[in-house]
Amino acid sequence: MLLVSRLECPSNCELGANRGFWSKNVSIVAEEDVQALSKADTVGLLEAVVKTVNECLAEAPCFGLSAPSTGLSASEVLEAISRCNSTGGPSGRFWVLDPVDGTLGFVRGDQYAIALALVENGEPVLGVLGCPNYPMEKEWLSYSNGYRRMLSKLASPASGFPGKGCIIYARKGSGKAWMQPLHQKDKKFIWPNSAREIRVSTIDNPALATFCEPVEKANSSHSFTAGVAHSVGLRNQPLRVYSMVKYAAIARGDAEVFMKFARAGYKEKIWDHAAGVVIIQEAGGVVTDAGGHPLCFSRGMYLENLDRGIIACSGASLHEKILGAVDASWNSSSL
């Protein structure tokens, strides 16, 4: 959130001292609400949340912002969380938040993401993905998460250990997407010194491309995506990844295609896609539904009128081939 504030605020914006920045006309679309923290038997949890919030705010100077003059109180933190009650819509400005995207990945020590997007008049204009287990360098993906975490603990802050997680972000219309280390204790690696531009892969030959899909079969039909992949000529094994890390993989060139085709009746939530869409598009990629239409974020908490599924590609050539394969195969599917 601090990084987003830096991208949004004037350079002299002071967090905390100008609490109006946080409270004026702020609304958030999110799954979570304040009820769990408001119960009498969760005092300890609330205290831990308030402590963590204030520790994060104290790091504001790392992002070119003034630190709060005083920490937020428990009531102020609860009030901020209570703003997660927006239902979105076609007009105005609101944040879209998924604090833990990929819960199973988080529980299993695998991939998960913290996803935040800013939507203006129904269109995502800013996207941020925090990926704690997604290493800065692609080469580290071949090592297990446990091994990377062990090496990360042994490495000094000044080493810039590439096996640590990353943050990826983009602003609509900039034509650029950026990545930086998640952990930045040494001044050498403080934003923006550590940020580097990322771009989608230039691979347009299906035989060389890698495609992503959800891990859980309940979230997407593996058999249908396998059929589409085969008909297009995708030969590599699918990269099955929890959470919006799939969008991060496309944006920084670790994969070329993401396909998701949910079962009938399943409704996609906007917080599962908004941040990733901005990032891929600004990194040079394409994201649409299976009919080639842009995803619609203007109709509340769900992607209404979604045509069959979601297809994200590193380039227009691959994207057109996938769309054609879906059209050719759809009538014989059971979705």
3-state secondary structure of 161: coil
Q: Which residues is 126 bridged to in the sheet?
A: 118, 171
CA angle 8, 32, 125 (to 5 degrees): 25
Half-sphere exposure of 334 toward its Cβ, with a 13 Å CA cutoff? Answer: 4
User: Alpha helices, DSSP H only, in 199-315?
Assistant: 222-232, 245-251, 274-282
Encoded amino acid at 75, one letter: S
CA dist 274 to 94, 98, 123, 169, 286, Å? 12, 10, 9, 12, 13
Q: Which residues contact 43 (CB under 8 A, 6 or more apart)?
A: none
289 in a labelled binding site = no
The DSSP element (H or E) to which 114 belongs, if any, is strand 113-120
Identify the three-state secondary structure at position 34: coil
Whether residue 186 is annotated as binding a ligand: the answer is no
Q: Is 110 annotated as a binding residue?
A: no
Angle at 167 between CA 131 and CA 122, to 5 degrees: 95
Tell me if the bond preceding 162 is cis, omega within 30° of 0. Answer: no
Q: Is 101 annotated to bind ligand?
A: yes
Q: Amino acid identity of 333?
A: S
Contacts 24+ apart (CB under 8 A), 32-35: 32/81, 32/84, 32/99, 33/81, 33/82, 33/84, 33/85, 34/78, 34/81, 34/82, 34/84
Annotated binding site: 31, 98, 101, 272
Annotated binding site for Mg(2+): 31, 98, 101, 272
